[in-house]
Amino acid sequence: MVDQSPSAFDLEDRLRRLNEIGVALSVEHNLTVLLERILLEARSFTRADAGTLFLLKGDHLTFEIAQNDTLKSFAGGTRGKMDMPPVPLNQESVSGYVAVTGQALNIEDVYSEPVYRFEGPKNYDRMTGYRTRSILGVPMKDHEDQIIGVVQLINPLHPLTGEVVPFSAQDQSLIQSLASQAAVAINNVRLIAETEALFDSFVQVMATAIDERSPYTGGHIRRVAEMTMAVAHSINTCQEGPLGSRQFDEDELNELRIAAWMHDIGKITTPEWVVDKPTKLHTLFDRIELVRTRFALIEKTIELERLEKQVALQEAGQPLPAGFAEEYTRRLQALAEDLAFLERANTPGEFMQDADLVRLNQIASQAYVEGGQQRPYLSENELNNLCIRKGSLTQGERQKINDHASMSIKMLAQIPFTRKLDQVPQIAGAHHEKLDGSGYPLGLKGGEISLQARILALVDIFESLSADDRPYRSKPMPREVVLRILKEEVERGYLDRDVFELFMRKELYLKLDEIKARMAEATAARNPQDV
């Protein structure tokens, strides 16, 4: 015969709710909200007037949430951290006893219970005027049977009279089931948080390693990441213009943050001497030293030629021709001037003049004799490098650097990003794309470039131009020049106008100074001996 009593219907309803709560707890990823939900549901199941949830941390229990309807007291959880001392892991308190023994504790009346002598509830009553009677403490055990916390419930109320009654065996059984589900849910949330923290640490370690390969780019990625997020948050607060209706949710912000941290990951494949190339002839070392050595040899060759001719004339009894010495002095002077010119040409500048290119080719066309063979003043490779009109990179070397963007996409595509981060490769890999399609590596244009990538592109250029030191620049570029260049990039159709106008209107460029100062303070704190 099926039990049709009210208590049977009540149990069936509570079991149904227990299943529903288990599902709800499994999808909640905010630990604070999850803990609050666990305690509320536990109290609801038992009609408890009050309750506290503790988590095990090290050798003690911490108060996470405390609620009391009679006292209208609600602390912890979404209302802020509780300022309560931790509970020692011993058997002198209800929660400590439950955590140490791993057993549930069901006390009908703490004042008359002959077995347990817990002073905590009585002290609480004296301080608040509350009257604690029934207590149910249940351990939260995970799938490995490890205790991760304690749920403590106080004073269940009769549904009809509202009087305090003891916790029933059914109450205890249901709360134990709920506590087991809660432990799994808490561990899942912690695991997700720990995994995300681990991934974040890995990302930042990788980014730092890439940055630190070069003394000139140290901190670039961190500054770009922080500046990018400053722009994104500013867009979220924008109330006007085309960006006024655009909002990034938390997942999109996190996705953009990861993309900003990883945008230069492809540079790990770029040779250091290309990234840092301070002079046109630099590879593993500055080959201007080879040119200097060669010109010293040519100088000795000219002097030897003069001496050999002079000796030959003397042996033949012939006088030196008019202007003999002056001719060799002139050649040596011209050689010294050519070397000085090559040293200047080796230093990257804004733009090399046509006349300089003509002179380089004239020098390269000259030859000297060594070991009976004619050799050029400059090798073909040296000439090609010295003829670089702007900067220090050849077309091939520049392509190696440009390849870092496609390499970033390739490397990031190998990472099994979660659904919430699946656009990281596209955002990170598009930071050198231009709206007119002239960028790289894919030549994207217009709507093919996401707003996130447009933000990253502008910030990356701004930070690079604002760098305190670069191998191709002798001093920092003034802020007004940097902003003028950004504006020119917008006018050419390279950068997003709306993002740039917000950047200027909100003076977001000043954030870079704050970031640099904060990073400098952190460095000084880590290395006080360097200050």
- Report, as an integer, the average pLDDT of 468-491: 81
- Report, as an integer, the average pLDDT of 165-183: 89
Q: Is the pLDDT of residue 489 over 50?
A: yes
Give pLDDT, residue 56: 93
Mean pLDDT of the chain: 86
Is the model more confident about 279 or about 377? Answer: 377
Taking Cα atoms as reference points, which of 458, 467, 465 lies closest to residue 502? 458
Give pLDDT, residue 213: 66
Query: Helix, strand, coil shares of the chain as percentages rounded to 5?
Result: 55, 10, 30
Q: Is the pLDDT of residue 6 over 50?
A: no
First to last CA, the chain: 85
Q: Is the pLDDT of residue 530 over 60?
A: no
Is the model more confident about 345 or about 527? Answer: 345
Query: Between the ranges 16-25, 211-220, 270-279, where is the mean pLDDT highest?
Result: 270-279
CA-to-CA distance for 498 and 245, rounded, in angstroms?
Answer: 12
- Report, as an integer, the average pLDDT of 485-514: 94
- Report, as an integer, the average pLDDT of 307-336: 88
Is the model more confident about 231 or about 7? Answer: 231
Q: Is the pLDDT of residue 25 over 90?
A: no
- Report, as an integer, the average pLDDT of 301-310: 88
The sign of the CA dihedral 164, 170, 176, 177 is negative
Give pLDDT, residue 427: 95
- Residue 93 DSSP label: S
- Report, as an integer, the average pLDDT of 501-513: 94
Instruction: Kindly state the percentage of the chain with pLDDT values over 70.
Output: 89
Give pLDDT, residue 399: 72
CA-to-CA distance for 380 and 383, rounded, in angstroms?
Answer: 5
Give pLDDT, residue 198: 84
| Residues 455, 228 contacting (CB under 8 angstroms) | yes
Residue 507's pLDDT band (cuts 50, 70, 90): very high
- Report, as an integer, the average pLDDT of 265-291: 80
Is the model more confident about 16 or about 256? Answer: 256
Q: Is the pLDDT of residue 133 over 90?
A: yes
Give pLDDT, residue 382: 92
The pTM of this model reads 0.69
- Report, as an integer, the average pLDDT of 105-123: 84
Q: What count of other Cβ atoms lies within 10 Å of the Cβ of residue 167?
A: 24
Instruction: Kindly state the percentage of the chain with pLDDT values over 90.
Output: 44
Lowest mean pLDDT among 175-189, 234-248, 418-432: 175-189
The sign of the CA dihedral 386, 387, 389, 392 is negative
Give pLDDT, residue 293: 93
Is the model more confident about 310 or about 493? Answer: 493
Give pLDDT, residue 15: 62
Lowest mean pLDDT among 211-220, 239-248, 383-392, 402-411: 211-220
Question: Helices (DSSP H) in 270-389: which residue ranges?
Answer: 272-275, 288-315, 324-346, 354-365, 380-386
Taking Cα atoms as reference points, which of 442, 288, 490, 307 lies closest to residue 379? 288
Q: Is the pLDDT of residue 1 over 50?
A: no
Q: Is the pLDDT of residue 52 over 50?
A: yes
Give pLDDT, residue 3: 42
Residue 455's pLDDT band (cuts 50, 70, 90): very high
Instruction: Label residues 257-287 b or e (16+ Cβ within 10 Å = b).
Output: bbbbbbbbbbbeebeeebbbbbbbbbeeebb
Residue 113's pLDDT band (cuts 50, 70, 90): confident
Q: How far is CA 276 from CA 76, 279, 461, 517, in A?
A: 52, 9, 17, 24
Is the model more confident about 79 or about 11? Answer: 79
Give pLDDT, residue 2: 35
